């Protein structure tokens, strides 16, 4: 096993990787860029210490941030060693500290419970109720502030002085309640070990003697408490280092979790606290082609808080990055759908991703993908029309259209809270069973008349408030007007602010603003036969119907934060505009802008083969079409290094050619595209122009949008065909012209013949392969 490991190190590691894996002593900071094989370095380093340097596994500790990463490392290390060989500790900071607490009963910590996130929230809720301050602070907000203060004590608490004081009081009560119940939360696991190391010299000395080789992964994500813990394990009471080797692996350019307490400055502090420190840069990238890395390097060099490095790859290529300036957010969505429809035949949907700053940006994109019959999955989030706040508001709209809709009625009767809880619901439900022909207006009036003696003042007030919400609203109203009226009457934005932690409440408000924009776009679409509230609700329902069948081979939609650690053949990053990326919440401080830039950098470096960067010149927000300013990060992307086109001022054929050049395909010569107006007609960006809505046939739709459901059969692997018949390949039909293959089925009655489902200008057709010609 030792020989095979040595061969692996010599043959499979590049020079910087090899040096980091075999350096046997001293402190080192391994600055490992995205896609540079850092996990390989850490695991071969551990195996090399055991097999070559003859270090006992019990003297090695490797710390990381997730159980998934730890398990992957353990599996790799085990693969380098003899079967059944003892393994060192490889795990998270929390699991290591729990191990120390459990294995030292003299400290009195052997019998305690661990509170998970739900337990913590429940405890804080009880304290807030005990203090009678429910109207002043939310439990999630208090818990977040308490944890932040403990993990980064040097950070100044956010908020008004009165609120900071209240949180401190809640925090003290929280600590007292945990102590009484012999319980620790996850922060305690590290804090208690830290306290023991600071107060108990013999414990610290024992740990100093046992832990001789320390490794820490993702060091840019450590907080100040974790950095201090490492310092106490690696140095004695006289501040002298006690380790044989200390290896921190990280990349400041991928530090995107400051809101969780991560301190990017810890990378620099590491060099000060453990000097002398050798900095080893691993810059060769094994993921992306060189043009993508060139863009990443050009963007990130504008940040100041970083160790200078430049990623490079042996994989050369041309025309792998495209920048497209779109007329609107709707055109951006259609262009993305067009790119996914036109993928090279060796690229699967599940190897493609659309990345955005926040989930509310997904709505227009979801609609475009649904209309184009492209399956998708939202990673780390919920489909737009399935989010709670969207379902709540749609339920109110459905009640305007259909006052007999019991499902919608019971969903919103007490949302926002108006004192009409479970008992009142049961009363209404029972009466409605006896009077099934009454609508909700009539049944509530009947409740008020027949049960006035038993109803509380709170019930009567809530009932009146609910009925008044629907006064003078009807199904012929424009959907955006009805929606805005409902939001205003029920105080829904205030309800979100009072019910959720600030960050989550903001996301939900952005979602309802996006719903208003969707309704306004629908109402202004002159091609719609029925632009009333009723028409809008039917349109939304049909969209939901199309999502019933879902393929495993899906385009991935996710936020830039969710994309960290992932990689795809093709990545589209949308919304490169001021206020979106960088976020409107991060425009004031240089440090915040640098983190937003790192977020963009993380998105860029997720792409293996192709990268598309999209922006919109105007976007529907708050129900109006508003001008957007290009992101400052766009100015940092060198135009000469990518295909660059303004879709708003170009002929459709020009944009089509640019996309096919980017995808490495020959442009279609026939008329499957629905081309729009020439440049002179689209240069105007007058706000009075009709909005560019998803229902309009656009430059990047292969056919006018029609109601067409998802089917499992069309979304099959591109390997499903045989010979010349492959998904996404263009075909020619004598009557229908040029089309694109969407699905292939064998003809059981005639071997060698296939039923081909192809998308033509007039729509989808299922045709025997005998009548088609591959072009």
pLDDT digits (tens, 9 = 90+) for 277-317: 999 999 999 999 999 999 999 999 999 878 889 999 999 99
Q: How far apart are CA 520 and CA 541, in angstroms?
A: 17
Judgement on whether residues 367 and 501 belong to the same structural domain of the protein: no
Of 2, 22, 39, 305, catalytic: 39
The total number of structural domains that make up the chain? 5
Per-residue pLDDT band for 705 (boundaries 50, 70, 90) equals very low
Per-residue pLDDT band for 646 (boundaries 50, 70, 90) equals very high
Question: How many secondary structure helices (H) and strands (E) does the chain include?
Answer: 27, 21
Active site annotation includes 606: yes
Judgement on whether residues 104 and 124 belong to the same structural domain of the protein: no
Judgement on whether residues 226 and 236 belong to the same structural domain of the protein: yes
Residue 716: pLDDT above 70? no
Residue 695 lies in a domain: no
| Distances in whole angstroms, Cα of residue 54 to Cα of each of 46, 57, 234, 435 | 11, 9, 20, 83
Residue 689 lies in a domain: no
Per-residue pLDDT band for 719 (boundaries 50, 70, 90) equals very low
Instruction: Give the domain CATH number at 608.
Output: 3.40.50.300
Instruction: Give the domain CATH number at 406.
Output: 1.10.486.10
Q: H or E segment at 445?
A: helix 440-450
Q: What's residue 531's pLDDT?
A: 81
Domain C-terminal end among 255, 282, 309: 282
Judgement on whether residues 165 and 278 belong to the same structural domain of the protein: no
Q: H or E segment at 337?
A: helix 329-341
Active site annotation includes 38: yes
Residue 11 lies in a domain: yes
Phi, psi values for residue 32, rounded to 5° = -110, 110
Q: How far apart are CA 619 and CA 92, in angstroms?
A: 43
Q: pLDDT per residue over 180-235, tens digit each?
A: 778 888 898 899 999 999 998 999 999 999 999 999 999 999 999 999 999 999 99
Judgement on whether residues 648 and 564 belong to the same structural domain of the protein: yes
Per-residue pLDDT band for 1 (boundaries 50, 70, 90) equals low
Of 254, 351, 556, 559, catalytic: 254
Residue 594: pLDDT above 90? yes
Most distant CA atoms of the chain, gap in Å: 89
Judgement on whether residues 632 and 651 belong to the same structural domain of the protein: yes
DSSP 241: B
Judgement on whether residues 63 and 173 belong to the same structural domain of the protein: no
222 near 263, Cβ under 8 Å? yes
Of 598, 606, 608, 610, catalytic: 606
Task: Give the torsion through C-alpha atoms of 24, 26, 27, 29, to 10 deg.
Answer: -50
- 3-class SS letters over 206-231: HHHHHCCEEEECCHHHCCHHHHHHHH
Domain C-terminal end among 512, 538, 564: 538
Active site annotation includes 138: no
Instruction: Give the domain CATH number at 758.
Output: 2.40.10
Instruction: Give the domain CATH number at 160.
Output: 1.10.10
Which token pair is 26? 């001293």
Q: Half-sphere exposure (CA, 13 Å, Cβ side) for 129?
A: 6
Q: How far apart are CA 592 and CA 595, in angstroms?
A: 5
Residue 143 lies in a domain: yes
Q: What's residue 659's pLDDT?
A: 94
Q: Which residues contact 541 (CB under 8 A, 6 or more apart)?
A: none
Which token pair is 757? 């489902």
| Distances in whole angstroms, Cα of residue 457 to Cα of each of 171, 324, 415, 631, 648 | 36, 59, 18, 54, 59
Judgement on whether residues 434 and 512 belong to the same structural domain of the protein: yes
Active site annotation includes 217: yes
Residue 296 lies in a domain: no
Residue 541: pLDDT above 80? no
Q: pLDDT per residue over 605-632, tens digit each?
A: 999 999 999 999 999 876 677 889 999 9
Which residue range forms the structural domain that includes residue 764? 718-774
Decide: helix, strand or coil at residue 731.
strand
Mean pLDDT of 466-473: 90
Cα–chain center distance at 192: 33
Residue 711 lies in a domain: no
Domain C-terminal end among 667, 698, 731: 667
Decide: helix, strand or coil at residue 195.
helix
Residue 587 lies in a domain: yes
Q: What angle do CA 558, 559, 565 make, to 5 degrees?
A: 85
Judgement on whether residues 504 and 565 belong to the same structural domain of the protein: no
Residue 306 lies in a domain: no
Q: H or E segment at 323?
A: strand 321-328
Of 187, 217, 371, 480, catalytic: 217
Q: pLDDT per residue over 367-399, tens digit each?
A: 899 888 899 988 877 778 888 999 999 999 989
Active site annotation includes 417: no
Judgement on whether residues 77 and 213 belong to the same structural domain of the protein: yes
Strands of the sheet containing 277-282, edge to edge, are 89-92, 60-64, 213-216, 245-250, 26-32, 277-282
Judgement on whether residues 393 and 524 belong to the same structural domain of the protein: yes
Q: How far apart are CA 234 and CA 733, in angstroms?
A: 73
Judgement on whether residues 506 and 572 belong to the same structural domain of the protein: no
Per-residue pLDDT band for 686 (boundaries 50, 70, 90) equals very low
* Range list of H helices, 56-160: 67-80, 93-102, 117-131, 139-151
Q: What's residue 672's pLDDT?
A: 36
Indicate left, alpha or beta for 664 from its phi (over 0: left) and psi (-120 to 50: alpha): left
Q: pLDDT per residue over 552-575, tens digit each?
A: 789 999 999 999 989 999 999 999
Task: Say which range, 230-239, 466-475, 542-551, has the weakest mean pLDDT.
Answer: 542-551
Per-residue pLDDT band for 692 (boundaries 50, 70, 90) equals very low
């Amino acid at each position: 096993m030792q020989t095979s490991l040595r061969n692996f190190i010599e043959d499979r590691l590049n020079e910087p990787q090899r040096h980091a894996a075999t350096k046997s002593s001293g402190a080192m900071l391994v600055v490992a860029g995205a896609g540079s094989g850092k996990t390989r370095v850490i695991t071969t380093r551990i195996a090399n210490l055991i097999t070559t340097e003859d270090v006992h596994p019990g003297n090695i500790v490797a710390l990381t941030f997730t159980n998934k990463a730890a398990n992957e490392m353990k599996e790799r290390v085990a693969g380098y060693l003899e079967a059944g060989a003892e393994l060192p500790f490889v795990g998270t900071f929390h699991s290591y500290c729990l191990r120390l607490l459990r294995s030292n009963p003299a400290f009195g910590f052997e019998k305690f419970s661990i509170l998970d996130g739900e337990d913590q929230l429940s405890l804080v809720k009880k304290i807030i109720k005990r203090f009678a301050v429910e109207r002043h602070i939310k439990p999630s907000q208090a818990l977040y502030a308490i944890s932040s203060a403990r993990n980064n004590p040097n950070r100044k608490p956010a908020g008004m002085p009165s609120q900071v004081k209240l949180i401190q009081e809640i925090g003290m009560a929280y600590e007292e309640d945990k102590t009484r119940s012999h319980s620790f939360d996850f922060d305690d696991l590290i804090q208690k070990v830290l306290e023991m190391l600071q107060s108990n010299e013999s414990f610290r000395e024992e740990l100093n003697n046992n832990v001789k080789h320390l490794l820490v992964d993702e060091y840019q994500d450590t907080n100040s408490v974790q950095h201090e813990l490492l310092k106490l394990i690696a140095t004695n009471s006289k501040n002298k280092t006690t380790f044989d080797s200390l290896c921190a692996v990280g990349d400041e350019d991928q530090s995107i979790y400051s809101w969780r307490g991560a301190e990017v400055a810890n990378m620099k502090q590491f060099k000060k606290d453990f000097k002398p420190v050798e900095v080893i840069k691993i810059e060769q990238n094994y993921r992306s082609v060189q043009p993508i890395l060139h863009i990443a390097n050009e963007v990130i060099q504008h940040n100041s808080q970083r160790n200078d490095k430049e990623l490079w790859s042996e994989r050369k290529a041309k025309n792998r990055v495209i920048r497209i300036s779109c007329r609107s957010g709707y055109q951006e969505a259609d262009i993305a759908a067009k790119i996914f429809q036109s993928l090279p035949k060796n690229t699967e949907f599940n190897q493609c991703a659309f990345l955005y700053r926040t989930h509310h940006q997904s709505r227009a994109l979801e609609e475009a993908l649904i209309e184009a019959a492209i399956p998708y999955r939202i990673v780390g989030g919920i489909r737009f029309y399935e989010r709670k706040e969207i379902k709540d508001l749609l339920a109110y709209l459905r009640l305007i259209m259909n006052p007999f809709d019991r499902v919608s009625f019971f969903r919103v009767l007490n949302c926002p809270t108006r004192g009409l809880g479970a008992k009142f619901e049961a009363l209404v439900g029972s009466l409605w069973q006896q009077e099934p022909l009454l609508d909700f207006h009539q049944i509530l009036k009947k409740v008020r008349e027949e049960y006035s003696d038993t109803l509380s003042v709170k019930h009567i007030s809530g009932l009146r408030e609910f009925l008044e919400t629907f006064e003078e609203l009807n199904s012929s109203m424009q959907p955006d007007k009805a929606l805005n009226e409902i939001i205003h009457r029920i105080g829904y934005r205030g309800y979100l602010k009072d019910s959720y932690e600030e960050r989550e409440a903001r996301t939900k408000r952005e979602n309802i603003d996006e719903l208003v924009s969707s309704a306004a776009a629908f109402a202004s679409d002159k091609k719609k036969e029925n632009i009333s509230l009723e028409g809008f609700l039917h349109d939304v329902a049909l969209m939901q119907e199309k999502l019933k069948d879902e393929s495993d081979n899906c385009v991935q939609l996710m936020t830039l934060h969710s994309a960290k650690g992932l990689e795809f053949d093709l990545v589209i990053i949308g919304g490169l505009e001021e206020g979106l990326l960088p976020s409107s919440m991060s425009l004031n401080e240089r440090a915040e802008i640098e983190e937003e830039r790192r977020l963009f950098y993380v998105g860029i470096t997720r792409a293996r083969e192709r990268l598309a960067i999209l922006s919109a010149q105007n976007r529907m927000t708050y129900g109006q079409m508003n001008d957007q300013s290009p992101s400052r990060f766009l100015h940092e992307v060198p135009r000469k290094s990518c295909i660059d086109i303004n879709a708003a001022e170009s002929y459709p054929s020009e944009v089509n050619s640019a996309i096919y050049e980017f995808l490495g395909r020959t442009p279609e010569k026939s008329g499957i595209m629905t081309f729009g107006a020439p440049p002179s007609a689209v240069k105007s960006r007058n706000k009075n122009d009709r909005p560019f809505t998803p229902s309009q046939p656009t430059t990047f739709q292969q056919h006018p949008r029609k109601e067409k459901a998802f089917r499992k059969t069309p979304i099959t692997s591109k390997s499903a065909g045989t010979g010349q018949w492959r998904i996404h390949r263009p075909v020619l039909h004598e009557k229908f012209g040029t089309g694109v293959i969407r699905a292939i089925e064998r003809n059981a009655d005639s071997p060698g013949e296939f039923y081909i489902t192809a998308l033509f200008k007039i729509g989808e057709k299922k045709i025997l392969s005998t009548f088609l010609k591959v072009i």
